């Protein structure tokens, strides 16, 4: 696919902002995917290329959690396996849907994902351990499978949704849950990316360039001490989604 170089003027600043926002409060995918759509990429190509750029940023943060021992491997290993299976199914499904139907889907899915991501955050306090290890494992694995399908099919907000599930439904401490989420999310990202690459959907040079800017945003955001930094997340996400909503609506009306 012939992508003009001036696409970078839209994609790179927004993916940098997505990395910055993601490092502060999560939800970066609600900015990065719209960035590719706003640049004019078809929905399948935008989703695939976003998977490439987000995988680059997620790899670094996942490695940091693994190095520091913040991944619950008892839960992470089976959760990764089922999330990969789910992502495979989700990616294959989205590729079978005509792109004009995806545009209608985006009009509802993007605002809905933003609503849930911005509405609730997990508590910083560790929840009481009132759940058996077996039940915790079963719930985590089951929900990871369904979130893997969502991630392969669409994606934005997957990390936040998983974190809410792990800390709430599965009663995991926030620190362990955050590291486990990174590994599971990265695995589902990579699996769906493999499917998209095999079908020739991702724009490699654009995804890698955007990934570098996303990585820079993650690095700067995690290294900054921002007083009330999370307050910038809501208006940024809502602003980008409003622009995309108007663009998609205009395309549908024409």
The mean predicted confidence, pLDDT, of the chain is: 83
d(CA 217, CA 223): 10
pTM of the model as a whole: 0.84
Instruction: With a cut of 90, say whether residue 177 has pLDDT above it.
Output: no
- Tokens (6 digits) for 200: 């020739």
d(CA 241, CA 4): 23
User: Which run of H or E residues covers position 177?
Assistant: helix 174-198
Q: What is the 3-state secondary structure (H, E, C) of the chain?
A: CCCCHHHHHHHHHHHHHHHHHHHHHCCCHHHHHHHHHHCCCCHHHHHHHHHHHHHHHHHHHHHHHHHCCCCCHHHHHHHHHHHHHHHHHHHHHHHHCCHHHHHHHHHHHHHHHHHHHHHCCCCCCCCCCCCCHHHHHHHHHHHHHHHHHHHHHCCCCHHHHHHHHHHHHCCCCHHHHHHHHHHHHHHHHHHHHHHHHHCCCCCHHHHHHHHHHHHHHHHHHHHCCCCCHHHHHHHHHHHHHHHHHHHHHHHHHC
Least confident of 72-81, 98-107, 206-215: 98-107
Give pLDDT, residue 225: 44
Least confident of 76-80, 148-152, 181-185, 193-197: 181-185
DSSP state of 26: S
CA 117 to each of CA 8, 28, 195: distance values in angstroms, whole numbers, following the listed order: 27, 10, 26
Q: What is the mean pLDDT of residues 99-113?
A: 79
Kindly indicate the confidence band of residue 141, based on its pLDDT and cuts at 50, 70 and 90. very high
């Amino acid at each position: 696919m012939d992508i003009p170089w001036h696409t970078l003027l839209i994609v790179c600043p927004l993916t940098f902002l997505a990395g910055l926002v993601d490092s502060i409060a999560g939800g970066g995918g609600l900015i990065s995917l719209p960035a590719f759509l706003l640049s004019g990429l078809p929905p399948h190509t935008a989703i695939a290329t976003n998977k490439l750029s987000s995988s680059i940023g997620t790899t670094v943060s996942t490695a940091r959690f693994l190095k520091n021992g913040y991944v619950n491997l008892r839960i992470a290993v089976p959760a990764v396996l089922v999330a990969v299976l789910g992502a495979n199914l989700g990616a294959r499904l989205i590729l079978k849907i005509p792109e004009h139907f995806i545009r209608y889907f985006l009009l509802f899915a993007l605002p809905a994902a933003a609503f849930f991501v911005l509405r609730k955050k997990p508590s910083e306090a560790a929840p009481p351990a009132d759940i058996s290890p077996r039940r915790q494992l079963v719930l985590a694995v089951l929900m990871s499978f369904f979130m893997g399908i969502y991630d392969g099919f669409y994606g934005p907000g997957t990390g936040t949704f998983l974190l809410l599930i792990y800390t709430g439904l599965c009663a995991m401490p926030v620190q362990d849950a955050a590291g486990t989420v990174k590994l599971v999310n990265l695995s589902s990202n990579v699996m769906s990316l493999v499917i998209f690459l095999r079908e020739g959907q991702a724009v490699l040079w654009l995804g890698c360039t955007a990934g570098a800017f996303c990585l820079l945003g993650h690095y700067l955001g995690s290294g900054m001490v921002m007083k009330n930094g999370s307050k910038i997340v809501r208006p940024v996400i809502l602003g980008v989604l409003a622009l995309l909503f108007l663009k998609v609506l205009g395309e549908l009306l024409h």
